[in-house]
Amino acid sequence: MVVIRLSKVKKKIFFINVIYKKKSVFGNILKRLGYYDPFINYGKSFFINYKLLFFYVKNGAKISKRIYFFLKK
């Protein structure tokens, strides 16, 4: 199963990745969909490629709770 979730790599910025559920967050990602930077104003802090997001969700990817929270806003 494929999951869309956040990952962080040595910086204070989070990446929105498509990754296999059983793999680690630091493992091989399938695709990077966007980013979230909590230290910038909210309007510019969140970016996601919606075309790719809808493609992966349509093909069976699950969205994590945190990503779902960002999409609701």
DSSP structural state of residue 22? T
How do residues 21-58 score in pLDDT, each as one tens digit?
776 666 788 888 888 888 777 667 888 899 999 998 99
* C-beta of residue 69 within 8 angstroms of C-beta of residue 15: no
**Terminal C-alpha separation, the chain:** 26
Strand partners, 32: 17
* C-beta of residue 39 within 8 angstroms of C-beta of residue 12: yes
Residues 6+ apart with CB under 8 A from 32: 15, 16, 17, 18
How do residues 10-20 score in pLDDT, each as one tens digit?
778 888 888 88
Ordered by where they begin, the domains of the chain are 2-72 (3.30.1320.10)
Residue 48 identity? I
pLDDT at 69 over 80: yes
Res 52: pLDDT: 92
